[in-house]
Chain A
Amino acid sequence: MLIPLCFLAAFGVALSPPTPADPIAVRVDQHFADHWRKTVVTPAPVCDDATFLRRASLDLLGRIPTVAEVRAFLADSSPHKRTVLVDRLLASPLHAQHMASVWRRVWLPQSDAPAFARLAPAFEDWIAERLTARVPYDEMVRELLTMPPGSLDGGGESVSPRGFRVANEYKPENLAASAARAFLGVNLDCAQCHNHPFAKWTRDQFWETAAFFARPITTPTGIRLELPIGETARMANPRLLTATPLNWPQEIRAETGPTLFAAWVTASDNPFFARNAVNRLWAQLLGTGLIEPLDDLGGDAPQDYDPVLEDLARAFRDGGYDFAQLTRGIVLSRVYQQASEPATEVPTSEGVAFSRAMVRGLTGEQLYDSLRVAGGHPLPESRVKNPTRQQFISLFQSERAGTAQRSVIQALTLMNGRVVMENVQPGLSPIVQAVSAPFFQEAERIDMLFLSALGRLPTEPERQFLVAHLEAGAARGERTSALADIFWALLNTAEFSTNH
């Protein structure tokens, strides 16, 4: 049974979140309102405040909110509090650090493998520094792609995108394939050896793209950039994937090819550049890209959400490639703020993308930092260089954490490992210590554990059940261990381990 939106509105169902208009959010909302009308789908209602705070904190800061943050947000009666919150989160130094780990994984996926893990800290520091300074995205990409190769080794500076060259082993074919995938959402890998069976890229196009990263060679007719096409005897010269003319300088130098390529990648008329960034940020914030797979923007598959993507890409470009502005618009849109529960008992919206919030997995970074916050521990100053955190993260590594499924070893780590032990063991856990204080009622203790772990108050059945358990423990003189057991259980729920 399908209910038109206007009827829902008439019955007082909240259709828009109580926020003042963000121009980008308004456009997203308009697209989706049209889309739901056309497809006769009822989207989920807007989520409650506690859910929004937890989701936005995980997405923008990479950690759950603290008890104090939850209490303050729930008590705030301002109608604009979500907008105020988002602006505060976007301005936090943690936001740049969190997004640095997100983009590092996209731009330098090799650094999740042991062989190149050493590159991650400097690369993340570089991204975080540029984001903090609000350097436009196109400038960052040009800097990353055009670093002259000769100056890369040896330099001891800690903030640098040089990891991109190193992780691609300075090979033109690796650099081209990685750049196309990360910054254009175009997957050329298959075309390296043969014409792509499902997309339009040819093997020649692959090597012509790679040739931009070739070392200049001197020939009788002048200095040239060229590469052999795979194992064949033919040579490829630099040529773009679109029919854009190239402005070759008089003299070809080492940085000429990368500079021309980077200029084309980041040009305002490049059909993929802004769309790829928007699509990847959207996928990061909503779990699914407007176009999937994320590295197949050049594909021929019909795209339901192309108008949204196009509109957001234009706004991103016109706004000077400012990630903070784009993020603000997406996070304040209604589609981001939907609940994860379906709109109705009738499963009409089951499987319909974006009709409700997708329950997503957490990265190792999000999980570790959230566990520390939940336990009442301070976050370490330098997160990237904390060995315990690094070890934990490497156990929870996955290509795309939002859709990654948990393994048995990961579950064992959460049930029996050191990080959770420091959150539950009396004497080690600040939160268990705090709620053991004598002046609380049992229900207040349960509420605090819920706020710490799940960022919400317990439901009445949850509270009743746990108060009874706690009272029984207290009667045996074992209140503290009962509190530890309850907190352990909360940290091992699927709710704690997901972003919903």
Chain B
Amino acid sequence: MELSNILNRRDWLGTAALGVVGSSSGWMHTLAAAAKRPKKSVILLWLNGGPSTIDLWDMKPGHANGGPFRAIRTPAAGLQLSEHLPKLAALGSQLALVRSMTSQEGDHGRAAVFVRTGYTPQGGILFPVLGSLVAHALYDPANDLPGFVSIAVPRFATAPGGGFLGPRFGPLTIGSGATSPDGLTVPYLRRMTGVTKMAQVSRFQLLQKLETLAVKKRPGAIADAARAATDSAARLMQPSATETFFLEHEDTKLRDAYGRTVFGQGCLLARRLVEKGVSFVEVSLDGWDTHLNNFEQIKGLCATLDAGFAALLADLQSRGLLDSTLVVCMGEFGRTPKINGANGRDHWPQAWSVALAGGGVPGGQVIGKTSADGSAVTDHPVTVPDLIATICTAIGIDPSGQNPSNVGRPIRVADPAAKPIQELL
């Protein structure tokens, strides 16, 4: 299809997408198809700093390592949660807990890379994060929104992006370092001051014409990528896409249910994005590196997590989106079962837990087991690559699929040694 036809058919001021500048790679041609929700999406609730999962998902009441928190029942037999997660406990039949995660990376930076990419950091290979792998595998050229959005990334977090898949599949980051929900905005999404809608359309038309006149003269992937990014940015500026970020369009009571925190409103934004066909959304909650005063801190963090996570599940369910949206809640490792001298817990990658819900994963079950003191996995050990392969399989991506990499050999979506957790599929 000619670019000018796309311009005519798809008015930037209207409802659908516009190919502003066109790329010679040809993906533009599929624009005429309407955006549709991918079969499945993932929302990753990222607990930055390494959550004390022994105080959340794998309680050890009665043991010296268990700390002061009580465990409470949920509707699912054998599935107990911390007393500070009461709203989630009520939804226990939707939760699947993996209590037997085990890894060897105890450094924040290395562990964050490992858990988010599924590969041990090794010199030279730019492993993409899971969000980029998913956005790449489920790429929908008809969607005006990018495939991977990352919300409230902590300021100094290690955040590898699209890696060898390129920034096109890297995250659109929203509200990085935000201290209030008002900070959940896309930078520079608004037109320049004083530029009317009509003037903006005129600018896009000029740009499109200039690129059409020059496109054959400037070959190459870098020029294509620049045009593709400009195109994506222009599509994101359309009212129908921009509208996705207007949380004020939501019901006040629903917003209250999510919690008026950056994380809570970030979860709500995640739902809005998934609803519009974004295939991977990450929402970060920072502060889990509780070397000091663990229990006081965890209590506060739980209130935020409980409200956001539970409201998200309920909201997804009421909109019929829960079966197609896999929610995963984790951090880079767990924390020492033994309580340290500062009433805190230190890094503990040997045994930790992950919570999953939705996406067709059977809820109300617990995978694996740790020892009575919480320090070791005693049943069904699950590695990080196993978990990555499980998430991929659950949303219909072949974990053994290969991507071309930056080191001259293809790299599999998940480490070839990974075994998906059958009970969750």
Give A contacts to B, CB under 8 Å: 114-115, 187, 189-190, 293, 295-296, 340-342, 358-361, 402-417, 420-421, 424-425, 459, 461-462, 465-466, 469, 481, 485-486, 488-490, 492-495, 497-498, 500
Q: Which residue of A lies closest to B24 (CB)?
A: A494
A425 to B221: give the CA distance in the assembly, Å.
31
Q: Which residue of B lies closest to A413 (CB)?
A: B188
- The 4 lowest CB-CB distance pairs between A and B, nearest first, are A189-B123, A405-B225, A411-B233, A359-B220
A407 to B214: give the CA distance in the assembly, Å.
21
**1/0 per position for B397-413, CB-CB distance to A under 8 A?**
00000000011000000
Q: Which residue of B lies closest to A496 (CB)?
A: B226
Contact between A415 and B233, CB atoms less than 8 A apart: yes
Q: A361-B222, A486-B206 are in contact. List 10 more A-B contacts (CB 8 A).
A: A115-B156, A295-B123, A403-B222, A408-B236, A411-B229, A412-B187, A413-B187, A485-B202, A485-B206, A495-B218
Rounded to whole Å, the gap between the CB of B376 and the closest CB of chain A is 20
B contact residues around A404 at 8 Å (CB): 167, 222
B contact residues around A187 at 8 Å (CB): 123-124
A114 to B156: give the CA distance in the assembly, Å.
7
Partner of A406, one of B155, B206, B225, B237: B225
B contact residues around A406 at 8 Å (CB): 167, 225-226, 228-230
Q: Which residue of B lies closest to A420 (CB)?
A: B192
Contact between B221 and A405, CB atoms less than 8 A apart: yes
* B side interface size, CB within 8 A: 53
Contact between B229 and A340, CB atoms less than 8 A apart: no
Contact between A425 and B194, CB atoms less than 8 A apart: yes
27 contacts across the A-B interface (CB closer than 8 A): A187-B123, A190-B123, A190-B124, A293-B406, A295-B123, A342-B219, A359-B223, A406-B226, A406-B228, A409-B187, A411-B233, A412-B187, A412-B237, A413-B188, A416-B192, A425-B194, A481-B199, A486-B206, A489-B210, A490-B210, A493-B21, A493-B210, A494-B211, A494-B218, A495-B223, A498-B222, A500-B218
Partner of A340, one of B206, B218, B230: B218
Contact between A412 and B188, CB atoms less than 8 A apart: yes
Q: Which residue of B lies closest to A293 (CB)?
A: B124
**1/0 per position for B141-172, CB-CB distance to A under 8 A?**
00000100000000110000000001110101
A409 to B150: give the CA distance in the assembly, Å.
12
B335 within 8 A of partner (CB): no
Rounded to whole Å, the gap between the CB of A44 and the closest CB of chain B is 11
Give B contacts to A, CB under 8 Å: 21, 122-124, 146, 155-156, 166-168, 170, 172-173, 186-194, 199, 202-203, 206-207, 209-211, 213-214, 217-230, 232-234, 236-237, 406-407
A330 to B255: give the CA distance in the assembly, Å.
61
Contact between A409 and B173, CB atoms less than 8 A apart: yes
Known: A407-B229, A485-B203. A461 touches B213 (CB 8 A): yes
A215 to B230: give the CA distance in the assembly, Å.
52
A contact residues around B225 at 8 Å (CB): 405-406
Residue of B123, B186, B218, B236 with most partner-chain A CB within 10 A: B123
Residue of B146, B191, B192, B199 with most partner-chain A CB within 10 A: B192
A63 to B104: give the CA distance in the assembly, Å.
46
A486 to B209: give the CA distance in the assembly, Å.
11
B contact residues around A416 at 8 Å (CB): 188-192, 237
Contact between A189 and B122, CB atoms less than 8 A apart: yes
A424 to B194: give the CA distance in the assembly, Å.
12
A465 to B206: give the CA distance in the assembly, Å.
9
